[in-house]
């Protein structure tokens, strides 16, 4: 089993083992393990899926069925910064489409594509639960609420020039955001190290201080 992931970083091998034991049946670890495999390979490659099937004992087809069902498992290379723009109803009513258009302009990257230099991926997404702070965007799933077109250029330039290794919601919110759905509470130093949801059990979060 562990030979399948000999190429993974030692901490992620430990995480994988822990996740396989965290559920009454190891098949439940498929989704978390796909996240770790994507982190190791940059996206959900064929090798990534094969490794997850070997870890869980599920067939390649079963793992592929899961990987292709959920929109957050990217089956193509994804940029360093995945910019997801909400265009669902509440964000639509408050200008989400304009925010998307200005992000496409500022990055030179059309909706659904990745820039040639591999820096940005841009996508429109359905509701991300930030309707009180519409329009909202996420960078590597870290949230910015109250995003106005006037701040888009600055956000994209900041990502290009500062190249943050850890993308942190609070930092971006302060620099580029506006009205929030609610007070976010305590400052949160943890953020995303890749275009994956930043969550320590899945290896994708790091303290960015």
Q: Could you tell me the smallest distance in angstroms from the CB atom of residue 5 to other proteins?
A: 17
Q: Sign of the CA dihedral 21, 69, 85, 120?
A: positive
Beta pairing, strands 120-125 & 190-192:
unpaired
Minimum CB–partner distance for residue 102 and other proteins (Å): 19
Min dist. Cβ of residue 117 to other proteins (A): 26
Among 3, 6, 69, 161, contact with other proteins (rule: CB under 8 A): 69
C-alpha dist (Å) from residue 129 to 45, 71, 86, 177: 29, 16, 9, 16
Considering only 9-17, 106-114, 148-156, 181-189, which stretch makes contact with other proteins by CB under 8 A? 181-189
**31: number of Cβ within 10 Å:** 17
98 binds other proteins (CB under 8 A): no
CB of 56 to other proteins, least distance (A): 7
Of residues 17, 50, 66, 108, which one binds other proteins by CB under 8 A? 66
What is the end-to-end Cα distance of the chain in Å, rounded?
A: 36
Q: Is 202 in the site for other proteins (CB under 8 A)?
A: yes
Q: Which of 149, 152, 119, 130 is nearest to 86 (CA)?
A: 130
Please pick, from the candidates 16, 20, 34, 144, the single residue that binds other proteins as defined by CB under 8 A.
Answer: 34
Q: Confirm or reject binding of residue 137 to other proteins (CB under 8 A).
A: no
CA distance 152 to 52: 38
Stretch that binds other proteins, among 9-17, 19-27, 111-119, 152-160 (CB under 8 A): 19-27
Check: CB of residue 176 under 8 Å from CB of residue 155.
yes
CA distance 183 to 115: 34
According to CB under 8 A, which one of 138, 164, 176, 177 is a site residue for other proteins? Answer: 138
The verdict on 88 binding other proteins (CB under 8 A) reads: yes
The Cα 130–Cα 88 span in angstroms is 10
Nearer to other proteins, 94 or 153 (CB): 94
Residues sharing a CB contact under 8 Å with residue 98, sequence separation 6 or more, in sequence order: 135, 149
Site of interaction with other proteins (CB under 8 A): 22-25, 27-32, 34-35, 56, 58, 62, 65-66, 69-73, 84, 87-90, 92-94, 125-134, 138, 141-143, 169, 179, 181-186, 188, 190, 192, 197-202, 204-205
């Amino acid at each position: 089993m562990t030979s399948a992931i000999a190429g993974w970083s030692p901490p992620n091998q430990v995480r994988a083992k822990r996740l396989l034991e965290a559920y009454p049946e190891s098949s439940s670890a498929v989704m978390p393990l796909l996240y770790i495999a994507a982190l190791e390979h940059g996206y959900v490659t064929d090798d990534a899926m094969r490794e997850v099937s070997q870890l869980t004992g599920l067939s390649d087809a079963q793992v592929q069925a899961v990987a292709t069902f959920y929109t957050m498992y990217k089956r193509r290379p994804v940029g360093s910064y995945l910019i997801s723009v909400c265009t669902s109803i509440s964000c639509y009513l408050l200008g989400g489409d304009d925010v998307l258009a200005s992000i496409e302009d500022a990055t030179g990257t059309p909706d659904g594509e990745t820039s040639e230099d591999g820096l940005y991926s841009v996508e429109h997404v359905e509701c991300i639960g930030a309707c009180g702070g519409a329009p909202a965007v996420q960078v590597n799933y870290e949230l910015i609420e109250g995003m106005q077109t006037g701040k888009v250029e600055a956000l994209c330039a900041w990502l290009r020039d500062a190249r943050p290794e850890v993308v942190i919601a609070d930092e971006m919110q302060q620099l580029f955001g506006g009205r929030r759905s609610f007070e976010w509470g305590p400052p949160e130093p943890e953020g995303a190290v890749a275009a994956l949801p930043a969550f320590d059990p899945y290896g994708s979060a790091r303290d960015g201080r």
